[in-house]
A and B are shown apart, each in its own frame.
Chain A
């Protein structure tokens, strides 16, 4: 019983991290039709810069972590905005080229990060509470899981409120449904594109700093490994559906944890099989619209 609770709790925590990456991917694809392979780089950059900022206040302190999270999110947003303005916008409506340029950027940035911070993972110093566990019905749940779930829920709530109650949110929701018609109303959707990239980059940068707390290290490759599962989550949830991404994040991460424990470390395999099953049975994803 306590094992099951532990697996569910760590699964939820991992799901929170997946969602931080997948939410941006899903929004960007939904509005612009761009598969952003550079999204993992926003995460990695956010993690390194965020930690560096936090260390100025004090490694392993709550103040340092808080500053790190804010700086990480801002860094992710800035990197994503620069990418959209500099690389994506000049290739407007040329989707293949846009995807290729994000692939190229992801490869180049990983090499750049290795050059700056070295190829090997570096240990991080965490606040004491985050490095320990809490007893939940007999299960010793890592405290990072709670933080990740909280962050995922706050970001989900924030983005949903943004989409529902702001002017740009309305434009973005309309653009996800029918971009051509938004243009026909005389609205310049390109500003919404930049904004969606910035929001997605901020969530990824936040996720980067959080991931270092769960993994207990920071590495130039952490973005790429999280990105793979975030893509799977995005497809399973339905490209462009934010709630779909949230549901799929939890389903995928919990399934992964359970399979890793009960089925001999087959978590990754099970997730890919789930992806294949969803594509066969419901190609538009759990909450996506039929194409």
Chain B
């Protein structure tokens, strides 16, 4: 479905310069509704910076960010989140001392809260809690609902982050290295969860070093190098691209592409 749907996230001429150093420059990227785009590149290529610009943590020094046609370049993180943009972070985006269920509930009660009256008590049976329970079931964490989020394994933390994204009901989801620190045995399960999120109609933008995962999941792959976008195309073409190979993939390109197929 590459570039099939109408554009939901458009980035034009996006650049960030800090103290004379160009971190990112001239990024043009259009992501269609329902697409899953992988973002790859060597360390320091600007992948996380791109996510921070799109989610609103940094303000770009040039260029614009459009979310569903609306210019959000100057909008805050909270405004973008309410407009349907959710993200995870490389370092965990969870609240370690809150329970697993409470982590999800924070997002569901924001959407369902209506009037957040000061003394409105969240009961186990209310709509926000019920929805949180559903999302936990989707990612397979029901049995850990009352555990502190900080006590979960790496793989379970990633699953919980995804449950939080589901609870935010974001139409565009940014995943920053979802497989980082995840035990090998848990990778396949997490890949299925990401595939299910994408299949439910959500647009996914994913930074990931795990090449098998990117090539297996992505409709298109964007390659960043030294703060510039080398290419963004279907995985097969990206793997065959000579500039990409020399810049990033080097001689291992053939083997990783083979194992992904």
Residues of A within 8 A of B (CB): 162, 165-168, 170-171, 173-174, 177-178, 180-188, 191, 195
Residues of B within 8 A of A185 (CB): 81, 106-107, 110, 164, 168
* In the assembled complex, B76 has its CB within 8 A of some CB on chain A: yes
B146–chain A nearest beta-carbon distance, Å: 13
On whether the beta carbons of B95 and A178 are closer than 8 Å, the reply is yes
In contact, A170 and B106 (Cβ under 8 angstroms): yes
Residue of A174, A180, A186, A191 with most chain B CB atoms under a 10 A cut-off: A186
Binding site for A on B (CB under 8 A): 55, 57, 76-78, 81-82, 87, 89, 93-98, 102, 105-107, 109-110, 113, 116-122, 164, 168
Report B-chain residues with C-beta under 8 Å of the C-beta of A182: 106
Residues of B contacting A: mostly: loop
Q: Looking across the interface, which residue of chain B has its beta carbon closest to that of A182?
A: B106
* Number of A-B residue pairs having CB atoms within 8 Å of each other in the complex: 73
Nearest opposing residue in chain A for B123, CB measure: A165
Q: In whole angstroms, what is the CA distance A174 to B107 when docked?
A: 11
Check if A177 sits within 8 Å of B106, measured CB to CB: no
Q: Is the CB of A174 within 8 A of B106?
A: yes
Q: How far is the CB of A30 from chain B (nearest CB, A)?
A: 12
Report the Cα distance A195→B109, complex, angstroms. 18
Partner of A168, one of B89, B102, B116: B116
User: Are A184 and B106 in contact (CB-based, < 8 A)?
Assistant: no
> Contact at B113–A167, with CB atoms within 8 Å?
yes
The residues of A that contact B107 with a CB separation of less than 8 Å are 185-186
Closest to A175 in B: B95
Kindly provide the distance from the CB of A47 to the nearest chain B CB, expressed in whole angstroms.
25
Q: Which residue of A has the minimal Cβ distance to B128?
A: A167
Choose from A167, A173, A181, A186 the contact partner of B93 (Cβ within 8 Å): A181
